[in-house]
């Protein structure tokens, strides 16, 4: 009898390649759908960005936005209101774990006053965000619709970076890093993954948990699951922060969605 599973995945550099395509992962995506395995997208991307990707994937499962800041469940989901304090928004029941975006913007301004040379997405025009990220202008418009997480660029040496991280912690906020630096409240992908596991009653249902990522902001997510997978970066390397921090981490045999595809197919075969 096949054991049931649930999969959590990062997007950029993991399920999506540098062209924001998942074509190399089609085989595994088809198998996931055929087996009715929940696929939980867990990204630093905004709700608007993830919604566009979900539409392309025909994904109807809950999703986690902005490094664990918010979890979006379908409004028709049953039993969740007994477990969580949720906000109703359009088609969703939302569990808000992150700090309000206005607080993050205020913190960026305060850190700048302290002498740190940083610039957040909220300080940039849509065109500037597009140029910085490589996104199209239309996609950049979605990237700046933020609720719980402020990506920023920082200029300074390693000593200045250590000082910045310390000040962020002292002031009651959190810091992580993916493609960019990120300022957050008391939230991360790991906490969000735990909440989704509660919603799916993972322990009660005996679900096998899998997660895939490629950057330091995926560490907390990977630490929460049975099968943590790190995928190769463009140069074929694996993020050393992940391999050091995540016990039993599986190294996917391929870059981005190619490695994602191979690892998922292999794991779903193993847990039959």
Same domain membership, residue 204 and residue 92 = yes
Mean pLDDT on 46-66: 96
Residues 40 and 162 in one domain: no
Average pLDDT along the chain: 94
pLDDT in tens, 5-19: 999 999 999 999 988
Question: Helices 101-113 and 158-170 sit at what angle, rounded to 10 degrees?
Answer: 130
| DSSP-assigned letter for residue 216 | G
pLDDT tens digit sequence for 237-252: 999 999 999 999 999 9
H-helix or E-strand spanning residue 251: strand 250-255
111 with 215, same domain: the answer is: no
Residues with catalytic function: 10
Look at residue 59 and tell me whether its pLDDT is greater than 80.
yes
Say if residue 63 is in the same domain as residue 197.
yes
Residues spanned by the domain of 173 = 101-184
- The pLDDT score that the predictor gives to residue 1 is 33
Asked whether residue 128 falls in the same domain as residue 255, the answer is no
Q: What is the pLDDT of residues 128-147, one digit of tens each?
A: 999 999 999 999 999 999 99
- Rounded average pLDDT over 216-230: 97
Q: CA 116 to CA 132: how far, in whole Å? A: 20
| Whether residues 112 and 235 fall in one domain | no
Report the number of distinct structural domains present in the chain.
2
83 & 210 share domain: yes
pLDDT greater than 90 at residue 209? yes
Q: How far apart (Å, rounded) are the C-alpha atoms in residues 84 and 66?
A: 19
Provide the pLDDT confidence category of residue 153 given band limits of 50, 70 and 90. very high
pLDDT score recorded for residue 248: 95
Helix (H) or strand (E) holding 205: helix 202-205
Percent of the chain past pLDDT 70, that is, above it, reads 99
Domain end point (choices 184, 212, 245): 184
Query: What's 249's domain CATH number?
Result: 3.40.50.1000
- pTM, whole model, 2 decimals? 0.93
Model confidence at 2: pLDDT above 70? no
pLDDT at 265 over 80: yes
* Residue 161 C-alpha from the chain's centroid: 23
């Amino acid at each position: 009898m096949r054991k049931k599973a649930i999969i959590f995945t990062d997007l950029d550099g993991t399920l999506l390649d540098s062209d924001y395509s998942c074509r190399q992962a089609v085989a595994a995506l088809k198998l996931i759908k055929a087996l009715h395995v929940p696929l939980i997208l867990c990204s630093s991307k905004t709700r608007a960005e993830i919604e566009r990707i979900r539409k392309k994937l025909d994904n109807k499962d809950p999703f986690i936005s902005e490094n664990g800041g918010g979890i979006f469940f379908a409004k028709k989901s049953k039993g969740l209101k007994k477990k969580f304090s949720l906000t109703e928004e359009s088609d969703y029941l939302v569990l808000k774990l992150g700090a309000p975006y206005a607080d993050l913007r205020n913190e960026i301004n305060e850190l700048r006053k302290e002498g740190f040379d940083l610039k957040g997405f909220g300080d940039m025009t849509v065109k500037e965000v597009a140029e910085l990220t490589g996104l199209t202008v239309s996609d950049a418009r979605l990237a700046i619709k933020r609720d719980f997480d402020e990506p920023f660029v920082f200029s300074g040496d390693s000593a200045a970076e250590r000082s910045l991280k310390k000040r962020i912690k002292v002031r009651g906020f959190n810091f992580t890093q993916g493609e960019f630096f990120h300022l957050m409240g008391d939230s991360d992908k790991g906490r969000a993954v735990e909440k989704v596991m509660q919603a799916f009653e993972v322990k009660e249902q005996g679900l096998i948990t899998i997660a895939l990522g490629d950057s330091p902001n995926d560490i907390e997510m990977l630490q929460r699951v049975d099968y943590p997978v790190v995928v190769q970066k463009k140069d074929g390397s694996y993020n050393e922060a992940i391999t050091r921090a995540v016990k039993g981490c599986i190294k996917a045999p391929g870059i981005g969605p190619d490695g994602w595809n191979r690892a998922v197919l292999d794991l779903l075969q193993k847990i039959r």
